[in-house]
Amino acid sequence: MLNRTIVSSETSHYDDIQQIVQSEKWFTQPLVVLVLGASGDLAKKKTYPALYDLWQQSLLPRQTVIWGFARTRWNTQQLRHHLRRSMAEHASIDRFLDLCFYRHGKDYGDKSAISSIFQSCTIIHNLLIYLAIPPQVFTDATLALKQVLSQNRISGFVRIVLEKPFGHDTISCRKLLDSLKEQEWKESELYRMDHYLGKEMVQNILMLRYNNPWLQHIWNKDVIQSVHILFKEPFGTEGRGGYFDSIGIVRDICQNHLLQILTLIAMQLPEQLTSAAIRDAKVKVLKSMPVLQPRDCLLGQYEGYSDDPTIADKDTRTPTYVCVRSFVNAPTWEGVPFVLEAGKALNERLCEARLFFRGNGTSALVLRLQPQPAIFLSTNMKRPGFSMSPIHTHMGIEYGEHCIVPEAYTRLLLDVLRGEQASFVRDDELVAAWELFTPLLKSIEMRSPIKYQPGMDGPHERENFLRSMEVGKPWSPPRASL
């Protein structure tokens, strides 16, 4: 190892932001948060913990009330009990739970139940609505909300967080977008969440590029030979098989999380990093990409996938692994393959963007998102001593264990409260993303994925496939030593 800088932070990452946020107007105004689907998995694992995190760091207004709504016939005490069990490790959880209330309804279009929530709030100034519900009930919920809100005077903002998947293909995505428009929701009120955009290293991509002008000299086809964006998870569907089987790995990870990373790497840097300029530049990348080709796609499914009791179709062809090549038809990237690879039940948890330099296929700039954020240059040098042979090594910056970065959901929820849309997916961006993937998704419906053993790094064909896609192989330092 040549050079290692540990980024750590003695002070809390919240110190700077607290001062900024607490001087903003919305922070002094009463806030109501409404979580639809409060009984669900996402609400328990992500939404409430992120709200807790914000509250604990004094980033929620003093007058905040958090309402949960779902069909499950709980009362407030039952919601609190449910959250206390799942968030037991959080200190001062009971004081946070005092802000949380619950009401159930017959469905997500139940206007009188939703209305009764608003009637019980003495003041509603700003309203944040989080849709932690399956997409098939999105529009029922937004319609009911619109109608209920038209009868309540809200003097501040109304903002809605929508979870992925936003559509199943181009047509269904457009349909969802159209129904939100017909219901007269404005784009500025809609925050389409892709939580990868809230990850520390993803936020760092534009910062790195913007603040290091020298990078512009290597950030192009003359120096970069290929870009490989890789996601690996060491577990399978784990009870989410029912949901996963209807969408598959391409929709679950590639079409959103990995594609978002691609756009941030490939986009032209705007003069200023405003929300509009960033999203315009990302759309431009998507529109310059040719539709993905089935011949450039390798699919896999891990052995035992359909044993998941929540998967009904035991002969399912849903892929749990995908590797697909794409291109960006812009002068900067002409001929450079961008390869997106994602898999479940693989050998490790890892997510990296690897930018390979032209030459021997081992030198690369690697941006590691997880398990622990890191940036390193995988490179070659002389073996120390008499030897004149080269060795692979790296120069790296890692975020040490003591460097606490906010959870993606915490960061993104704060962005919503602050009206900052740069890290949310705009309507035209979403359509462009679906247009790229829809033909491929249709064409692979009938294709049988190649089986692989859980705990491998993908199907056996992976190595050859990557080579044929002209992707290199960086020397990666062992996780523990970086």
- The residue among 162 and 281 lying less far from ligand NDP, judged by its C-beta, is 162
The catalytic position among 82, 104, 228, 257 is: 257
Rounded-to-integer distance, Cα 180 and Cα 166, Å: 12
Per rule CB under 6 A, is residue 71 in the interface with ligand NDP? yes
196 DSSP 8-state letter? G
Binding mask 209-248 for ligand BG6 (x = CB under 6 A): ------------------------x---------------
Per rule CB under 6 A, is residue 135 in the interface with ligand NDP? yes
Angle of helix 170-182 relative to helix 138-150, nearest 10 degrees, comes to: 10
Beta strands in 400-452 (DSSP E): 450-452
Q: State the number of CA atoms in the 13 A half-sphere of 53 facing the CB.
A: 20
Closest CA to 321 of 451, 165, 168, 167: 451
Rounded-to-integer distance, Cα 444 and Cα 261, Å: 23
Rounded-to-integer distance, Cα 4 and Cα 199, Å: 22
Per rule CB under 6 A, is residue 163 in the interface with ligand BG6? no
Beta strands in 315-440 (DSSP E): 321-326, 338-343, 350-357, 364-370, 374-382, 390-399
- The residue among 163 and 352 lying less far from ligand NDP, judged by its C-beta, is 163
- The residue among 407 and 461 lying less far from ligand BG6, judged by its C-beta, is 407
Q: How far is CA 138 from CA 107, 126, 149, 220, 363, in A?
A: 11, 21, 16, 41, 46
Per rule CB under 6 A, is residue 134 in the interface with ligand NDP? yes
Q: Is 195 a catalytic residue?
A: no
Per rule CB under 6 A, is residue 42 in the interface with ligand NDP? yes
Per rule CB under 6 A, is residue 109 in the interface with ligand NDP? no
For the CB of residue 191, give the shortest distance to ligand BG6 in the complex, in Å.
Answer: 16
Binding mask 113-132 for ligand NDP (x = CB under 6 A): -------------------x
Per rule CB under 6 A, is residue 137 in the interface with ligand NDP? yes
Q: Scanning residues 160 to 199, which ones bind ligand NDP (CB under 6 A)?
A: 163-165
Judged by beta carbon distances under 5 to 8 A according to partner kind, the member of ligand BG6, ligand NDP, none in contact with residue 156 is: none
Rounded-to-integer distance, Cα 141 and Cα 161, Å: 12
By the criterion CB under 6 A, which residues form the site for ligand NDP? 37, 39-43, 45, 70-72, 132-135, 137, 163-165
